[in-house]
A = this chain, B = another copy of it.
Amino acid sequence: MSRPGIRAAGNVLNLKPELWDSHFLRACRGEATKRTPVWLMRQAGRYMQHYRGIRSGRSFLDLCKDPALASEVTLYAREWLDVDAAIIFSDILVVLEALGLPLTFATGDGPVLGKPIRDGAAVVALRDPLTAAKDLGYVHEAIRRTVTGLPADIPLIGFCGAPYTLAAYAIEGGSSRQFAHTKTFMYRDGGAWNALLARITAALIPYLNAQIAAGTSCVQVFDSWVGHLTRADFIEFVQPHLRTLVAGITPGVPVILFGTETSHLSDLIAACGADVIGVDTTTDLSATWERCGGPTRIAVQGNLDPCLLLGPRERLLKAADVVLAAAGGRPGHIFNLGHGVLKETDPEQAKALVQHVHARTTR
């Protein structure tokens, strides 16, 4: 079920021993760790004063495209929280922009993609995927700068949006509740649908591999919207493309597959070659781990509700203990939230959570 050979591949990237044996990468490979590694999705973001200072006066996209600042934001959050991994500051939608869709972030309204894709002609009109991947060099430069600033035992995670989620954004022209345009497209024109997902996948593979060449030692694929699909539709319309993507990622690099509201799909997602399955807030971590093959086949990441960071400290830490108990101290658990940190979060709460997980799990 796992990506062929991932754990047997060994240290093909020639990572230094401190990095290869870091808590985080060991857990990705399902190996025992001295403590449970922890990082937080969207750990660098609006909830931090440092981030707001750097963001003020520039757009979100401008920040993504400035390698020095993207790197600084990444490193600051990692160090301040003392988490076991950094994740490069960027956005999944830059790939769609590179493929030719005008991207803006309207205040409060989320992303807007001009020229939404509604037919096969619009798919053909997308830019060449290799050219698109090359145009994302600012992400790769941010990665190069970040790895030089990280402690030797802290991995940097790269990421991208999954083919389905990016296709849904491209077709809807932004986010959506029902994904009516996306599903209509999918049901009515399977040929154009597959062409679109193939085009996106063809951009994502070189984009991720360039991230790895630039210094990331793990990648996470965010399939944010895939939870809206039934199992049958996932198998027919999505799974082949997700498999292709994972198969194209440089061997030896652990792949985390994550989507929200995917409890009904987790085994199918895992079967796409995930080394780590990301578990969202409302999904049962222990049951999902078993359904995906258990600790001997796959690692698991998750899944504290980020809203708990907004409540009292005592409730937060108790809930963290519940997540740790669900993982049961078995090798291959990476502690994380089940969704990104909310902008309303007090950073001290996030820091206390990290310290608590470390203290509780030091073996």
Contacts and interface: CB of A to CB of B under 8 A. Distances in A.
A184 B310 contact: yes
A187 interface: yes
A250 interface: no
Contacts of A361: none
A178 B307 contact: yes
A228 to B, nearest CB: 7
Given A184-B344, A232-B322, A307 B179 contact: yes
A6 to B, nearest CB: 29
A282 B229 contact: yes
A342 B180 contact: yes
Contacts of A284: 231, 264
A230 interface: yes
A183 interface: yes
A311 B178 contact: no
Interface in A217-267: 227-233, 261, 263-264
A50 interface: no
Contacts of A231: 284
A311 B281 contact: no
B264 A311 contact: no
A184 to B, nearest CB: 4
Contacts of A180: 307, 310, 342, 344
Contacts of A342: 178, 180
A264 B264 CA distance: 9
A283 B228 CA distance: 10
A339 interface: yes
A363 interface: no
A172 interface: no
Contacts of A187: 307-308, 310-312, 315
A288 to B, nearest CB: 10
A188 interface: yes
Contacts of A232: 319, 322
A13 to B, nearest CB: 36
Contacts of A307: 178-180, 183-184, 187
A305 interface: yes
Nearest to A175: B177
A228 B355 CA distance: 27
Among A186, A229, A264, A306, find the residue whose CB has the most chain B CB atoms closer than 10 A.
Answer: A264
Interface of A: 178-180, 183-184, 186-188, 227-233, 261, 263-264, 281-284, 305-308, 310-312, 315, 319, 322, 339, 342, 344
Given A183-B305, A184-B310, A228-B281, 7 more contacts: A180-B310, A186-B311, A227-B282, A232-B319, A232-B322, A233-B305, A264-B282
9 contacts: A180-B342, A183-B305, A183-B307, A183-B308, A183-B310, A187-B307, A187-B311, A227-B261, A228-B281
